[in-house]
Amino acid sequence: MSLRRVSVIGSGNWGSTIAKIVGNNIRKFPEYVSEVRMWVFEELINGRKLTEIINTSNENVKYLPNVKLPENVIADPDVKSVARDADVLVIVMPHQFLNRTLADIKTVVKPTSYAVSLMKGLALSDDHGIRLLTDCIREILNIPCAVLMGANLATEVSQENYCEATIGIDDPKMGSELKKLFQVCSICGYLQV
């Protein structure tokens, strides 16, 4: 049995916070590749690439300053590289960039993978109605998609303050895995699947 890979598509304050949690959690489980790849939209911070700063200092100085990321969280500016070979895609970015990003990765996503959305917002449908972001992910990538939601602030979660979250899933097996990836006793006092 090959090791499972988890990748994070997005690196804002919420994406970096989730990468921290997943990076710490997967080290506890031998069935996972120990590295968590995190897609970072490349920016220059004081003349240095943000990915370089994250990978050398283990800190997202722009979006989650003063919070150390585990050394196994690797920032990568190539979204296809991050998505390729992932078994679980954690998608956490501003919703207005979702369709373009999904179009970029759809040719490299494993058909046996699944996604989990941690995004807030809705999408407009072609008939000007509203659509769930999870439906957009399912349709564009042609893989199952779960959702994690809660009244949580990234900075509070990253500082290991108490929070609650709910995972919405169609497949209980996905729910068990996601609970393992996201639950941290000091953070999520209650994670409902």
Q: Model confidence over 1-40: pLDDT tens digits?
A: 799 999 999 999 999 999 999 999 999 999 999 999 999 9
Amino acid present at 112: T
**DSSP conformational letter for 114:** E
Q: Which two tokens stand for residue 55?
A: 């990978």
Which is higher by pLDDT, 160 or 49? 49
For residues 39-52, average pLDDT: 97
Question: What are the tens digits of pLDDT across the range 52-81?
Answer: 999 999 999 999 999 999 999 999 999 999
| pLDDT over 90 at 165, yes or no | no
Residue recorded with tokens 């100085």: 61
Per-residue pLDDT of 130-144, as tens digits, reads 888 999 999 999 999
Give me the percent of the chain exceeding a pLDDT of 90.
Answer: 72
pLDDT of 186 reads 53
* Contact call for residues 34 and 60 (beta carbons, < 8 A): no
Domains defined for the chain, CATH in brackets: 6-192 (3.40.50.720)
Dist CA 9 CA 77 (whole Å): 10
The answer, as to whether pTM is greater than 0.85, is: yes
Find how far residue 19's CA is from the centre of its chain.
Answer: 6
Average pLDDT value for residue range 114-118: 97
